[in-house]
Every structure is written in structure tokens, then in C-alpha cells.
Amino acid sequence: MTSVACPLCGKYSPMDSFSTSEVDDIRTASMRGLGRGKGFEATERGSLFDSPEYQDTVSLIAKRTLEIVKLLFDYEAITYEDVRKALESDSADEEEDT
């Protein structure tokens, strides 16, 4: 079985279950242990963008994301046109919401 490392965090996931879903937020969760060997549960969920104390983390993610985009350019996996279209698409969606 082949695994792929997330280019953002480095976590390995099996190739067939690597999430390719659309990203619309960077979510946070406070976790609570359920007891030895019983796992964890999320007690509070939120958005990293709504938490002023995590703005340094947002900046680090932004920096890493730009490094990933550069890597994709270097390997010709994306073009400037791809990025422009994606940014314009997001801008058009935002204008529709206002």
C-alpha cells in the first residue's frame, strides 16, 4: 500500500484515502480523552481564522502554502494561469456574497 505525505503538515495517509475535498476553512478542535484506549472526542470546534491567538499559525500556514505552490510550479504541475483563474474564481464568489 502506498501512502502520501501531506505537503503542508507531513502526515502520511493511504493514497486511496488522501482527502482531496475542497478547502473552505482551517478548522480547530479542542480534544478530550475518553479514557485509556478509548480514543478522543472533540469538545469545541472552531476556525483558526476566528482565533486572534492563532494568527501566527495562520501566517506559518500561508508561508508553507506559498512554498508548496512554488514546488508545484517547479514541477510544472500548475501554471500561473491556473493560479490566476483560481484566485479570480474566489474573488467572483466573494463579490456574489456581498
Q: Is residue 89 part of a domain?
A: yes
Q: Is residue 1 part of a domain?
A: no
Residues of the domain holding 83: 25-97
Q: Is residue 73 part of a domain?
A: yes
For residue 47 the three cell numbers come to: 476556525
Q: Is residue 78 part of a domain?
A: yes
Q: Is residue 16 part of a domain?
A: no
For 41-98, how does the pLDDT look when each residue is reduced to its tens digit (9 = 90+)?
999 999 999 989 999 999 999 999 999 999 999 999 999 999 999 989 866 555 555 5
Which amino acid, 76? Answer: E
Instruction: Give the number of domains in the chain.
Output: 1
Q: What is the H or E stretch that residue 4 is in?
A: strand 3-5
